[in-house]
Amino acid sequence: MISFNQPPVVGGEEEYIDDAIKSRKISGDGKYTKLCNRWLEQSTGAKKVLLTTSCTHALEMAALLLDLREGDEVIMPSFTFVSTADAFIMRGAKAVFVDIRPDTMNIDEKLIESAITEKTKAIVPVHYAGVSCEMDTINDIAHRHGIKVVEDAAQGVMSTYKGKALGTLGHYGCYSFHETKNLSMGEGGAILLSDEHEIERAEIIREKGTNRSKFFRGEIDKYTWVSLGSSYLPSELNAAYLYAQLQKCQSVYDDRMRNWNMYYEMLKPLRDRGVIELPVIPEGCVHNAHMFYIKAKDLEVRTKLISYLKSNGIDAVFHYIPLHSSPAGIKYGSFAGDDNYTTKESERLIRLPLYYGLKSDQVEFICEKIGGFYR
């Protein structure tokens, strides 16, 4: 069986974890957490990066930083992972779902403005498959309405929009280092801050609502509980794993990109025949080869293709059940405007195996089988 995903192991992880153990510092904010924060700040240009226990938790931190109240509204696509919505709904907000563009599966920037009400507090663009949303338009809308932008850049580490790192284009950016993402620490993530005046508040939220970070820097002589917060600080063991990955990020990127390009080239003839569709990368966007997906004609063909691939030892998968049609989505959110593409396009999408270490001949085999299905 060719598995759909395998967590990246690049070499060096064990050595750093071992070093963390030997240093007798395994809780958070030690050497490796700081090295990762700094590495990410330097490579993205963000004012501040704080490692978190997950992207979900980075989004929760953004929701706390936004100071959301009961009844506030947050605009987002319905075609996304549950955490995009959950983090804000936990603070009492309502999710307002906007339709996606069929080419990139990202929120349709042209439909956002008509979903804004006096209760709207934020827009949460999700950079699907590591391909950027149309951020100039989204930031312009947010600016004109005095609302904030929280980028769900869970899939967008090492991607750019007009030369800038995803996660640095809005007020807050959220990364994931889950084992299914390009770079990993098992479970983990990061929040990227664009405003240096918010660094202290973010540190407090991440340290259970205490000003402990200031205390450790010697800026105050005792620490205390100052606001709402939670335990969003990852262990040094996880950070040590990530630091090894960050240092080898280029080889992860190159390996994934080689396979992504190979899929694209080998499946082009099927696209030209009009039987499948391939991902679209708009001008100005450089992606990170996070995902390779194709689109079948409809749900029926997709179901057959997935089981055909399974019977040939290939684990291809689909996602997401649109949030607005899930039980929690119905309870906590609503769709603004028409669902022209969210349901229809999500039912056609198939993700093909793509991970660090996937072999060229495996990609070739998968493409041949897809070709065989359509013969």
The nearest distance, CB 53 to ligand PLP, in angstroms, is: 8
Q: How far apart are CA 105 and CA 342, in angstroms?
A: 8
The nearest distance, CB 34 to ligand PLP, in angstroms, is: 20
Q: Binding mask 48-87 vs ligand PLP (x if CB under 6 A, - otherwise)?
A: ------xxx-----------------------xx-xx---
From the list 33, 155, 184, 235, which residue makes contact with ligand PLP (rule: CB under 6 A)?
A: 155
From the list 60, 152, 203, 236, which residue makes contact with ligand PLP (rule: CB under 6 A)?
A: 152
Regarding 176 and contact with ligand PLP (CB under 6 A), the answer is yes
Regarding 178 and contact with ligand PLP (CB under 6 A), the answer is yes
Of 350, 164, 358, give the one whose Cα is nearest residue 261.
Answer: 358
- Token pair listed for 175: 């990364």
Q: Binding mask 105-144 vs ligand PLP (x if CB under 6 A, - otherwise)?
A: ---------------------x------------------
From the list 167, 170, 173, 189, which residue makes contact with ligand PLP (rule: CB under 6 A)?
A: 189
Task: Give the type of residue at 281.
Answer: I
Q: How far apart are CA 233 and CA 61, in angstroms?
A: 11
Q: How far apart are CA 10 and CA 245, in angstroms?
A: 6
Regarding 184 and contact with ligand PLP (CB under 6 A), the answer is no
Q: How far apart are CA 236 and CA 173, in angstroms?
A: 22
| Stretch (H or E) spanning 141 | helix 135-145
Could you tell me how far CA 264 lies from the centroid of its own chain? 22
Nearer to ligand PLP, 12 or 186 (CB): 186
| C-alpha torsion angle, residues 191, 195, 197, 201 (rounded to 10) | -20
Q: Which residues would be at the binding site for ligand PLP (CB under 6 A)?
A: 54-56, 80-81, 83-84, 126, 152, 154-155, 176, 178, 189
